[in-house]
Each structure stands twice: as C-alpha cells, then as structure tokens.
Amino acid sequence: MIKRAAAIGLISVPSISVLSACASGDSGDDDNKGNKGKKTDKNPLAVNESAPLDVVIFDGGLGDQYAKDSEALYKQAFPKASIKHTPTQKIQTSLQPRFNGGTPPDLIDNSGAEQMDMGTLVGKRQLADLNDLLDARSIDDPGKTVRDTLRPGVAEMGKFDGDETWVLYYAYTVYGVWYSKTNLDKLDAEYPETWDDMLALCAKAKKKGIAGWTYPGKYPYYLPFSLYPFIGKIGGAEVLDSIDNLEPNAWKHPAVKSAFEAYYELYKRGYILQGTPGLTHIEAQTAWNEGKALFIPNGSWVENESKKTTPKDFEMTVSAPSGLDSSDKLPFGTLWASGSEPYIVPKAAKNPRGGMELLRIMLGKQASQNFVKQVSSLTSLNGGTEGVALPPGLKSAQAAAAKAGKNVLNPRLQDWYVALQKEKIGVSALGEMMAGRMTPDETIKKIQKFTDDTRNDDSVKKYKHR
C-alpha cells in the first residue's frame, strides 16, 4: 500500500512519516461553490469547463501514462481547461507544503513509499466527500451511477467513520502467493494447498538449489499480503476485524500464533532465499523471476512492475495462501483482494469537481481497459475487461478472485493506520522475525504493544468495522 506503497518505486513502501505537517486541521470550502459550472447530462458534476485542473500521480509500478490518457479524454470534454500533470514518487514531500499552504492539487494518487497517512487526512477533515462522484451517472450507462459500476466493497472502503466517502481506490488488487507455473512444473509439483505440502515442496526445491520463498526484506510489510489472509483462513475473518479494531489481545489469538509459527518455520528450515532480509522489492522480484525462489508474497501490480526481468515462458500465477490444516475456519481459496491505488480530492482544492470528473472518466470502460492493457492490473470498474487479452498473471488473479467468491478478505490496517502497519508491524516486527532475530512469541508481544500504544494514543484517529 505501502506497498503500494513501497514500491514502485514501490507500490507500497514504508511511509517516511505520519503526515504530521499535513494535519493542520479543517480548511477550505468543502464544495468550492464559486468554481462550479452548469450541471447537465454530460456534465453531471457541474464542472467549471474552463477551470484549470491540477493532478498529481504516483509514478511507481503502474506508471502515470494511464492517467495522462484519461486527462486527454477530460480535455476532449472540456477543451477550455488547462491540465497540469505532475508525476512523482515523493507524494508526501512534494504535497505537504501545498497542504500547509492551502493550495493542494485537485486530484492525488496517494500511493508509494511516501504515501500520506489517510487516517490523519480524514481525521483532520482535509479531504472532499466523494459521494457526489459516486452518485453521478456513469460514463458508459446513463442508467447507472458510478457507485453501481464498482466492484463489491470498493465504495465502502472509502468510508472511515461515517457516511462520507473520502477515498476512491482506482485499481483492484489481488494479493497472495505468486509463483511461476513453469518452475513448479519443472519440479513436477502443484501449488500446495496445505502447509505441510508447502514445507514438503520447499524441501524438494532446496535439494535442487532453489529457495522456497523470498520477499522484500527491506520492506517486510509485503509479508502481510499472504500472511493476513492466512490468519483469516485459519481463524476466520473476525480475527482480522479485531486486529483492525485495535482490540486488546487481538494479536494473541491462536490463529495469529499458528500463522506466525508456520512462516517462522520457513526461516528455521532454510527455505528462504539467502540474503532476502537485505533485498528491495525489485531485487526480490528479480531473484524470483530468475528462478532462485519459488514463491513471493505480492500484489497483482507485480506483473507490470517486474516485466523487464520476467522470462517469456514464466507463466506468472497467483494463489490464495495454503491452508494450515483441516481445522481452518475458511476454505482453500480464501484470499485478500481489494481496491488499491487510493485517489483523493483535497477539500481545499481549487477545482475539486474537476478532480472528481477525471475519476469518473477513469472509471469508464475506455479508460479502464486502457489501464488493464498498459499495466496488467484490474481497475475497480466491475467487469470492463471484455475483449481484452489478459496476460498470465492478471488472468490468474481474476480467476483467483472468482474462486474466492464470498471468501474475500480486506484487512484495513494499511488504510487506517499506515505508520503502525508499515513501520512498526512490518519493519520492526515481521521483518525481524523472518530474519530470525525474533521468535513468533516475541513478535506477537511486540506487535500487541504497538497496537496498544496506538489505541491509547489520543492523537491518532480511531476507526472500526461496522
């Protein structure tokens, strides 16, 4: 998220700070009514047709060309409008002064290593409510609203503590355990559905000089992409909900202990690629593409991000986490899939309706299919891939999400508490455990303390599952 953040540069990497300077409080007219145009069927958001549009896009694993292409469609609709397009990997560094000065852009792709803390922005009322966008007619079907066209759960993800919608997640990411079907075939193996089978396959690979797993050791908050749904599969979705809710002793649930001990076993048995704790996401993905490791926890942006080093016959594939055993609460196939690449419209923006209109255009079939073709990732538009030839990884991601059905989990820590998730749980705890510097019990104790400290910190806005 984080990982998006990290990456992509990092789609999701560690947040450099917690947006302290962006937390100056409520400011600006929520609607900037003085910059509105006339509402029509073709202009349902009443955009001022001549108002300039200021857009800042995170230029990471997804690049920014898809946004430029959508801006070209905006320009067709509003030829009098000038558009300022700024790509950057330093979202917080570049935008913090603009928030402080009351001159934020009209639309922001708030992702990457320097992702601004969403919970802080919402808590300080610095974002515009996007419900007008969601209730506007969709680009392709005047009989449907934008809300009607979104994948299940996406609109709800943008809500934090009320009926307002503060964030629109444009991409739709399938998280899980990624592998090369070709490399498994070379071992005469299928993806393991139980942890015993996972360990057995890793042992088989080790004899061939191949590691079982690697991960971005410098950004270990990638580990939850497969670890969190593993916990949910073992103990049920309610375990992840209690973790999101910062409940006392949530991390001491037996499902967490079982999942941590299972992952720690990978370290103890030497099934993790040597040197992994020192690898960036790009270095880990490259090693994986080179066949040095079978599995890597990641999100569906990985196909585009690692395409330069991916062999043509790799057959990139994603699977839900292996189960622990027959006592698991949820079936094999349970995974984490959710909206990602968070877009926000600042409350103090000069042309907030223009920012929302660009999002409305991006959620049309033309822009959505363009995104799919360019970056091998799904958008939050439900469907929209008809007639598009999907690459192997994205095709498998779509199949995995379909197989999961109702068993799709959506942990919210990475949205609600960025610093807790990335820097504390990810870097200071899980990263230490997987490098062998902490035991699972020590890790759980440390994470629970981080959680308790966050819960008891009155300066941190709290959110809960309804």
Residues 58, 91 contacting (CB under 8 angstroms): yes
Domain 2-173+339-389 in CATH 3.40.190.10? The answer is yes
Proportion of the chain above pLDDT 90, given as a percent? 80
For residue 8, name the pLDDT band (cuts at 50, 70, 90): very low
* Model confidence, pTM: 0.81
Q: How many other C-beta atoms are found inside a 10 Å radius of the C-beta of residue 245? A: 16
- pLDDT tops 60 at residue 120: yes
Bridge partners, 83 (sequence order): 53
- pLDDT tops 50 at residue 155: yes
Evaluated on CA atoms 94, 26, 129, 39, the torsion sign reads negative
Both ends of the chain: CA-CA distance in Å? 22
CB hemisphere CA count around 301 (13 angstroms) = 33
Give the pLDDT confidence of 305-358 residue by residue, as tens digits: 999 999 999 999 999 999 999 999 999 999 999 998 999 999 999 999 999 999
Three-state secondary-structure class, residue 213: strand
- pLDDT tops 90 at residue 161: no
Mean pLDDT of the chain: 91
Give the pLDDT confidence of 419-440 residue by residue, as tens digits: 899 889 999 999 999 999 999 9
- pLDDT tops 60 at residue 11: no
Closest CA to 45 of 136, 126, 131, 114: 136
- pLDDT tops 90 at residue 20: no
- pLDDT tops 80 at residue 450: yes
Task: Spell out where 153-299 has E strands.
Answer: 168-180, 211-213, 293-298
Give the pLDDT of residue 112: 84
Give the pLDDT of residue 4: 37
DSSP-derived secondary structure letter, 54: E
Residues 255, 227 contacting (CB under 8 angstroms): no
For residue 6, name the pLDDT band (cuts at 50, 70, 90): very low
Give the pLDDT of residue 139: 95
Give the pLDDT of residue 334: 97
- Classify 127 in phi/psi space as left (phi over 0), alpha (psi -120 to 50) or beta: beta
- Over range 35-56, report the average pLDDT: 94
- pLDDT tops 50 at residue 23: no
Give the pLDDT confidence of 262-296 residue by residue, as tens digits: 999 999 999 999 999 999 999 999 999 999 999 99
